Structure 1
Amino acid sequence: MNTWDGASLERLRAAVHRRDGAEGVRLLAEYPPGPVLQYAGDVLVAALGAGVPEAGPLARQCLEALTARALPGDAELADDLAAALGLRPPPEGHAVPVDLGELGSELDAEPEGEMEGEVYVVDLRHGDVLSVGELNGEDTGEVEPAFDESDERYDAARWLPFWPDRANAERDMADFAAAVADEALRPALAAALAGRWPYRRFLEAIRDTPDDTRWLLFREERRRGRARAWLAAHGYRPGPRGL
């Protein structure tokens, strides 16, 4: 099988976004699903819904892999796959058209940015992920009416708040560094994580190595899974846009 790279991952992202099950099945026949289970499960749900040939065996393989791996978000996606395969009823939860990649990125926060302490919300109607400052007109001076308690259009039920947690990204870097097989790279990553500006130094150490793409896949898997699990914990699941 081929090895995932930036171009093939972008094709998979696009297939998931478009709910293009046929393209997803083509890609998963060429590339191993293991590094991209959070994407693979979603595109296979779409493929099963569209009756794409050969989707069934791939979906069962993905279901088994998600169940065995059991990381955050894997059980929720496994439930979706099992329902699409007709093995169990559809899972409960209100569908929200949120982009899992965007939500996962904001849930993690920038490891060395200025987001710490800032409150964000998911717009449960449209799926947007927004900062409270943005909704309060921090940049434009125009407050979103549905977010303004003094406005008759205020809708408290529309917003699901959260605080970004950079500890997630720090754990991801540590877990990835511990699993790196390159004996020359491993000490460099350990040194980066032990010093100041660990995220920046981590990226510098891994840049232009074979593990650069592996890190991209690892990080996106973790982020999407956490975003899916976080939504489920609040009684929601990703709708079509979030796939």
Structure 2
Amino acid sequence: MLFNGIFLLIASVIAGTLSSVVGMASVILYPALLFVGLPPIMANVTITVGIIFSGTSAVLSSKRELKGQGSVTLHVMAFAVIGAIIGSIILLHSSNKSFQDVAPFVILLSGVLMLIPKKQSAYVHESVSKTASAIAAIAIVVVGIYVGYFGAGGGVLMAAILIRIIDAPYAICNAVRNVSTLTMNAVSALIFIFTTPISWSALVVLAVGLFIGGYIGPIIVRVIPSAIMKYSVAIGAIILAAFLAYQAYF
């Protein structure tokens, strides 16, 4: 019991840092919770609730990057929340098997998107076509659905979308992602708390570690060049996709 607590605390600090840097908390926490005996859906739901703590500290640590980004942030939040509600409802009617099978492909997509050169932002200029804006909105809703449904690697997918629609350094895109991810997870958590079993004992440990790690992440992002961050996230996403595919199919 003590070993599990220490193990989860260390994992959650690392996961909180990853969550606020690249949105990959579940890369650490999902297998960690499975290791201590939680079933897949309970593990995912517990992570979703726990990430609220890393999201809160990440937003507090990202106030510098969020300055002047209110309009973009509100747009992203609104569409992301719609998706998160849909995804959470889908999760409540899914099996553990279907839950595990879909993740590798979505995470692989996020990694590939990060590597594709970006065209003009969908939010920067008022003259942007309505079609481009609609596509951006739909993409964010889809990411929200995935985050509400699975979560693992969902932050990477959101980052991949945001760097393509926001004409700003990675640190700013990441700050907007942290706000939207916090909002999505808060909505999903509210649904899960009343409908799905949660490991409260694990959550207490995760909350402490995630809050600490979440505050550290944005500080790291400020000092690492955007290009390095982007390609590191992409490579990490592809490796994660391969790992989860191996677990699911072999």
The answer to whether the superposition gives a TM-score over 0.5 is no
Greater fraction strand = 1
Greater fraction helix = 2
For normalisation by structure 1, the TM-score amounts to 0.25
Between structure 1 and structure 2, the one with the greater Rg is 1
For normalisation by structure 2, the TM-score amounts to 0.25
